[in-house]
A and B are shown apart, each in its own frame.
Chain A
């Protein structure tokens, strides 16, 4: 209903505008085109300066209203992110200055040099000095930005430190799968043709397969696989090895200022060092529901917008505890191969679990 009303109002406004427009053309012809042209010229000249002033106020107002909703007021949540932010500020300073100066000149000139019978235009077809000036100055400014940028770029894309924790991330329509190498620290082999969505979501090679010419890789037997939530450790670099099971996705980590595509068939990598645990971020942001979200940043189908993962940044102890509770994916698929279950006496496992439970409670209190 409101929509129809709106449309009716719009049509009405249209008609009114059209009548005014026709009438003004009519008046213009009667008054003499030259005169009325000069008059509208004045109005438009005035609007130019008006637009400049209102525009700059608008820019300020927009910043005032929206700045606090961006990521910038708070510290970046990764060591690398700090460098992204500082680079962002330098770039903003340079481009912001140019923006203000050129927009002011543009609209001010337009206003100042609006047509007047008294003015004689300045025939000024070229001036080499000026042209060299505005070739060289931008070139220098850009060189500075490139140098800063490339230093960061090589740092970000360079090798991860040796102590980095490795996690494999696999995108699929529409969710994320994470794999940890398990106790042996080695990711077992995988092959996409043995994927079984129910029990082997990334296709670990844990069985001989003569048809596909695959041999059981024991390194895959202790790999930990889970979905949707990834655990990493505060202060410890983490290296992600990223792939996709179907179409291209993208691991977008806005709080860490990082992003990398997940491409089927071509593994990519990314590493970063988280600075704050999720719990700490809840305090910093003042948002009880805060989460480090993994947003898929590459169009991947109709569910793209809901392809969400979560990163829990925890302390080392919490991580160890969490890890201790994980069952290797292999054993989930073949429960009968689980040595702890075979023994039937699970006394050795119990204390660890109990211990973990109390620690989790402690975490929750924080």
Chain B
């Protein structure tokens, strides 16, 4: 018997389940089904795969700049052959290329991968399936949301090929540097394209976000009250609210920047003398204004990235611990508290800009306050797995990894949120360590958890487990090896965004460490390729799903056929009778949401 035959011995069973949704299909062409699709599940996959492409590109960029940091004296002529003279000269990455790489890496990972790729994918995929809706409130807007994102991607990509290079002033794009083409070549055409891409991206997120909110509020199936919704939906809902309220502010910041760049206004510019150009006419603007506008989105943005991961992790932990999520209401409450506080802490990124010290102290207070709901969530997750019966599915492993990383990175937030300490640590590698662990890697783990958990629902096949286990263990060990030592670099005051440290008496002692970190980073990157391979291979060749509910889960998406068509449920949408977390109740392993409350069921 061939491998394929063994794996698909259950094919017959599959076809049976398969059969009953065919009648539901209206006629679809390749274009309407795979390209301009209005099916939320297909749009989710489009977001996911576009996000993955960006993750690979963004990851590759980090490998390149880590090569520079790890091997500052080495020459790589072959890199020059691949990338060309603009990027690599004399076998070494040029400073301008280095900064372009760092900037683009930050921008695409934050916005394209962890915002669009994460909430774009899972809000689209899970909201209708888990609240019991046939599709989004507006499938058309949903489609537009993706295509705006796609266009933004193309524009961002095109900026890599302009003569003066892509934007190179850091993902936060502070003016005056970002406003003045004369101050840096990256701020010329590259910055124009960056701004256009970001503006398109903002439109995409607004279209998506409004849709998610409308769907959650209006399209829940019968019996699905707000307090019966899975925590994934709560988290995705708050994420969308954060985005809708904060992205317009970023947009306004960008508009003012566009005006300053092109139309001679002085919103951000004042008293500037540029080498080789002379004094500029602008007076009376405030460079700090931009930072307020940016971080008013920027801080909520980090939670836009984190909350979906938190929601999915809550769901996955509970399902695989076969035990209800602990403190469901407290979980919603803490999500709510985080969502509110997220708008009130932005200036903690600006403690050393000359901010009024009294104002700074208010932001210290509010910032550290946000650690309380974070702590609640951590302890609730710990209690959820306590006395459970844990199945280490790949999704579960990544969920546990997420909790570990969230703890490690969240705790250093307490250091940075205290302004008197931030004076020392701001813009050092300590900050790099903090936000990569708590946001970058943790949310990536949330995303992986979600992919492993819902892949069977997306494609009707499983990912390969062995590859998944290797992926998890190498990645978590590698992530800690990369980012943990960076705390020490930060404690030596080593600044971030430096191309080369060898001229610095205070920072050059970390040359060995930087080489170590770069090596691990390359290994971890290679391991992600393993995942990528697993993903695409399994779409076509993975083991087929034969049970409708492979994880024995309570939520509604597992009541759809194995490969649901457009409209999700072939017949009526099921009615919901209980919350999503009746695992291990009254001696029963799980009780799906669709099951009515029994007469003799215990109360809690």
Q: In the complex, what residues of B have CB within 8 A of residue A83's CB?
A: 420
Closest to B187 in A: A301
Closest beta carbon of chain A to B157's beta carbon, Å: 22
Whether A360 sits at the interface, judged by CB under 8 Å, is no
Whether B223 sits at the interface, judged by CB under 8 Å, is no
Q: In B281-309, which residues have CB < 8 Å from any A CB?
A: 283-288
Q: Do residues A121 and B375 form an inter-chain contact, with CB atoms below 8 A?
A: no
Given contacts A203-B273, A247-B177, contact A91 B421 (CB under 8 A): yes
Roughly how many angstroms separate A142 CA and B365 CA in the complex, as a whole number? 9
Q: In the complex, what residues of A have CB within 8 A of residue B76's CB?
A: 3
Given contacts A87-B418, A106-B382, A192-B273, contact A10 B526 (CB under 8 A): yes
Q: Do residues A103 and B404 form an inter-chain contact, with CB atoms below 8 A?
A: yes
Closest to A190 in B: B271
Interface size class of B (residues with CB under 8 A): 35 or more
Q: Do residues A22 and B3 form an inter-chain contact, with CB atoms below 8 A?
A: yes
Q: Do residues A44 and B273 form an inter-chain contact, with CB atoms below 8 A?
A: no
Best-surrounded residue of B269, B364, B424 (most CB of chain A within 10 A): B424
Q: In the complex, what residues of A have CB within 8 A of residue B411's CB?
A: 95, 98-99
Whether A349 sits at the interface, judged by CB under 8 Å, is no
Main SS at interface, chain A: helix
Q: In B467-520, which residues have CB < 8 Å from any A CB?
A: 467, 469-470, 473, 476-477, 480-481, 484-485, 488, 491-493, 495, 497-501, 503-507, 509-510, 513
Q: In the complex, what residues of A have CB within 8 A of residue B412's CB?
A: 95
Partner of B382, one of A51, A109, A290: A109
Q: In A300-339, which residues have CB < 8 Å from any B CB?
A: 300-306, 308
Given contacts A95-B412, A110-B390, A125-B604, contact A29 B9 (CB under 8 A): yes
Whether B272 sits at the interface, judged by CB under 8 Å, is yes
Closest beta carbon of chain A to B384's beta carbon, Å: 9
Q: In the complex, what residues of B have CB within 8 A of residue A123's CB?
A: 323-324, 583-586, 604
Roughly how many angstroms separate A149 CA and B415 CA in the complex, as a whole number? 10
- A271-307 CB mask vs B (1 if < 8 Å, else 0) is 0000000000000000101110101111111111110
Whether A17 sits at the interface, judged by CB under 8 Å, is yes
Q: Do residues A69 and B428 form an inter-chain contact, with CB atoms below 8 A?
A: no
Whether A258 sits at the interface, judged by CB under 8 Å, is yes
Q: In the complex, what residues of A have CB within 8 A of residue B183's CB?
A: 173, 246-247, 301
Q: In A101-145, which residues have CB < 8 Å from any B CB?
A: 102-103, 105-107, 109-110, 113-116, 119-127, 130-131, 134-135, 138-139, 142, 145
Whether B361 sits at the interface, judged by CB under 8 Å, is yes
Best-surrounded residue of B287, B411, B423 (most CB of chain A within 10 A): B423
Best-surrounded residue of B357, B387, B503, B586 (most CB of chain A within 10 A): B387
Q: In the complex, what residues of A have CB within 8 A of residue B324's CB?
A: 123-125
Q: Do residues B488 and A70 form an inter-chain contact, with CB atoms below 8 A?
A: yes
Q: Do residues A131 and B330 form an inter-chain contact, with CB atoms below 8 A?
A: yes
Best-surrounded residue of B269, B385, B421, B509 (most CB of chain A within 10 A): B421
Whether A156 sits at the interface, judged by CB under 8 Å, is yes
Whether A25 sits at the interface, judged by CB under 8 Å, is yes
Q: In the complex, what residues of B have CB within 8 A of residue A300's CB?
A: 177
Whether B597 sits at the interface, judged by CB under 8 Å, is no
Q: In A1-47, which residues have CB < 8 Å from any B CB?
A: 3-4, 10, 14, 17-18, 20-22, 24-26, 28-30, 37, 40-41, 44-45, 47
Q: In the complex, what residues of A have CB within 8 A of residue B495's CB?
A: 252, 295-297
A-B contact pairs, 22 of them (CB 8 A): A29-B7, A29-B543, A62-B488, A67-B488, A69-B510, A87-B420, A106-B407, A121-B387, A126-B329, A131-B330, A135-B372, A142-B369, A142-B371, A261-B352, A261-B353, A269-B354, A295-B506, A297-B426, A301-B183, A302-B168, A302-B184, A308-B503
Give me the 8 closest cross-chain CB pairs, A-B, nearest first.
A254-B493, A265-B270, A268-B354, A121-B584, A149-B418, A44-B392, A152-B420, A157-B357
